[in-house]
Amino acid sequence: MTTSLQINAAIVTGANGFIGRWLLLELTAHGVEVCALIRNPRVRLAELRAWVNARGGDGEKLHASAFDLSHPDLGLDDEGRAWLARADAVYHLAARFDFGMPLEATRRDNVEASVRLVKMLASSKRLRRLVHLSGYRTEGQEARDLDVHDAAALASFYRVHGPYEGSKIEAHYRVAEAAAAFDVPLTRISPASVIGDSRSGETTQLIGLAETVQRLHARKLPALPGNRASWLPVISVDTLAALLARVPGDSESLGGHVVVLDEHTPSLRDLMGLAAQHLDVPAPRFSVPVGILRWLPMALTGVHPEALTFVSSDRYDARPVAELAARVGVELPEIETSLKRWIDFLVAHNFRPGASVVKAEAA
């Protein structure tokens, strides 16, 4: 008998990461048996179970097996291969996530490993869905125009956007091609910038927008990158996890791609204004074009050049996520309240929300 999520057994790669933990919580709370594919499973399983139990999930439904993106066979042992054969759903969240990473290793772990996983799933007779996590910049104009089979264009994209974003965009297309070639049922989900739990504000991640809030709180953010139209859409981690958990039971998303964002996210300038008011600190008064910031030393800007590629005036179609949420019965929470709770959590934990949790989704 299936659970209310219409699946019995699931695999989550990158389960020790920020999004992965909330997905474990959502799946086990609905009675799904889950295998977390992670490094050092014997060491980390007890801590993951305790984390899940403390937040209302069922740690007894959680299992773990070895996984390594850099390994030719993904580091799977016999138990891990058995889970690949029995899983109704596989969520591929694992990736090298940081800025300034070596290109070759990043492509190996984010692109080649993802394609390898698709091929491994080709023989599964039980798989209802492979859910591959991309990123919302897959719908940026440059990414939509990219031909990953044009070596020169791909190399240029990597030079401009850096190894992390470049590899996630390339994987987005390579995974779709592999799934079509090997008849693997696929849905690609591209989340916006992920903030903390909409109810508690809890997060385990500081990279990205949280770093900007930290600089604002420290009164070290005199200017913002971009312009008045710059937009970094966000989504709360529990909302994302709720949607991810329900994708395998949603027939209309099969073969599709959904950007998960809250269309009511304020512009970057207004978002920082909201944060400044909530923190009772001065809001940034100026904006500096991204093209100029890329030429300034990171010690001066406080922003890694790769992070600047996410600052854009691009807008994204919110209809697919609204339609998915309506079909599966997930309500998007009010965004300003979620943002304030997330900010409060960051401040309360001195901007060290995940001190005991590694920041990479690959963990």
Beta bridge partners, 258, equal 189
Token output for 183:
């008849």
Token output for 28:
């086990």
Q: Does residue 309 contact residue 161 with C-beta atoms inside 8 Å?
A: yes
| pLDDT for res 176 | 97
Q: Does residue 119 contact residue 142 with C-beta atoms inside 8 Å?
A: no
Q: Does residue 248 contact residue 5 with C-beta atoms inside 8 Å?
A: yes
| pLDDT for res 361 | 39
Q: Angle formed by the axes of helices 319-328 and 237-246, to 10°?
A: 70
Tens place of pLDDT for every residue, the chain, 363 residues? 456 788 999 999 999 999 999 999 999 999 999 999 998 898 899 999 999 999 999 999 999 999 999 898 999 999 999 999 999 999 999 987 666 677 888 899 999 999 999 999 999 999 999 999 997 788 777 888 899 999 999 999 888 888 888 899 999 999 999 999 999 999 999 999 999 999 999 999 888 889 889 999 999 888 888 788 888 899 999 999 999 999 999 999 999 999 999 999 999 999 999 999 999 999 988 887 655 655 454 554 455 565 556 667 778 889 999 999 999 999 999 999 999 999 999 999 999 866 444 343 333
Q: Does residue 194 contact residue 205 with C-beta atoms inside 8 Å?
A: yes
Q: What are residue 23's phi and psi, to 5 degrees?
A: -70, -40
Q: How far apart are CA 186 and CA 90, in angstroms?
A: 10
Strands 129-133 and 186-191: parallel
Q: Classify residue 201 as left (phi > 0), alpha (psi -120 to 50) or beta.
A: left
Q: Angle formed by the axes of helices 151-182 and 113-120, to 10°?
A: 20
Token output for 40:
């050092």
Q: How far apart are CA 358 and CA 16, in angstroms?
A: 8
| pLDDT for res 304 | 58
Task: Using alpha carbons, list the distances in angstroms from residue 48 to 126, 188, 273.
Answer: 26, 26, 36
Token look-up 């138990």 returns 79
Nearest of 271, 230, 262, 264 to residue 140 by alpha carbon: 230
Q: Does residue 27 contact residue 103 with C-beta atoms inside 8 Å?
A: no
| pLDDT for res 302 | 58
Task: Using alpha carbons, list the distances in angstroms from residue 114 to 91, 146, 171, 344.
Answer: 11, 19, 7, 36
| pLDDT for res 104 | 85
Give the total residue count for the chain: 363
Q: Does residue 25 contact residue 52 with C-beta atoms inside 8 Å?
A: yes
Q: How far apart are CA 305 and CA 293, in angstroms?
A: 8
| pLDDT for res 165 | 85
**What SS3 class is residue 165?**
helix
Token output for 284:
């940034």
What pTM value is reported for the model?
0.91
Q: How far apart are CA 92 and CA 247, in angstroms?
A: 13
Token output for 17:
């990461």
